[in-house]
Amino acid sequence: MRVTEHPILGTYQKGRKVQFTFDGKSMEGYEGEPIAAALRAAGVTTHRYTTKKHEPRGIFCAIGRCTDCVMIVDGRPNIRTCITPLREGMRIQTQYGIEAKEI
């Protein structure tokens, strides 16, 4: 859920509303915010599954240090979604190991 009004920060400065897809589903977020923030606001918590044990991973550090949040963005794997800004029309996919599809 998004925080719309904050007692200290007031309203958050956000870019324009943009569309993107997550595993083919159309979603909305704000341009320039981290992909991970847009996904979390849209209810997505699992970003990837680990190679060997197929365990789910999501946001862990939120500042680009741990690589738990990496996904496939516009076809490129291993993108740290917590520090990569969202752009109009981005194609975001859950990452399985280093692939887009579960094998």
Partner 1 sequence: MVRYDLIIVGAGPAGLSAAIIAAKQGVRTAVFDENERPGGQLFKQIHKFFGSREHRAKVRGFRIGEQLLEEARECGVEVHLNATVMGLYDKKEVLVMADGETHHFKADAIILATGARENFIPFAGWTLPGVMGAGAAQTMVNLHGVQPGSRVLMVGTGNVGLVVSYQLMQAGIQVEALIDAAPRVGGYGVHAAKLARLGVPFYLSHTIVKAEGTDKVTGAVIAQVDEKFQPIPGTEKHFDVDTICMAVGLSPMSELPAMAGCQMEDKGGAVPKVDACGETSIPGIFAAGDAAGIEEASSAMITGQIAGIAAARRLGYVDEEMFEAETDRLRASLQKLHEGMFSPQNRGRNDFTETDEGYPISQSLLHKGYMEDQEITRYPGAVSGKSGVHPVIECSQNIPCDPCQDACKFGCIRVGDEITRLPCVNEEAKCTGCGLCVASCSGQAIFLVDETYDEEHAAVTLPYEFLPYPQAGDKGVALGRDGREVCEAEVVSLKINKAMDQTALLTIKVPREMAMTARFFKKKEA
Binding site for partner 1 (CB under 8 A): 1-9, 12, 14, 33-34, 37, 40-41, 45-47, 55-65, 68, 83, 85
DSSP string, 19-82: EEEETTEEEEEETTSBHHHHHHHTT----EE-TTT--EE--SSSSSSS-TTEEEETTEEEEETT
Torsion of CA 102, 95, 51, 54, to 10 degrees: -70
Name the binder of 80 from partner 1, ligand FES, none, CB < 5-8 A by kind. Answer: ligand FES
Rounded to the nearest whole angstrom, what is the least distance from the CB of residue 98 to ligand FES in the complex? 16
The DSSP bridge partners found for residue 29 are: 18
Residues that bind ligand FES (CB under 6 A): 59-62, 64-69, 80, 82
Cα atoms in the 13 Å half-sphere on the side-chain side of 45:
3
Rounded to the nearest whole angstrom, what is the least distance from the CB of residue 28 to partner 1 in the complex? 13
Rounded to the nearest whole angstrom, what is the least distance from the CB of residue 16 to ligand FES in the complex? 24
Name the residue nearer to partner 1 (CB basis): 23 or 55: 55
Name the residue nearer to partner 1 (CB basis): 54 or 101: 54
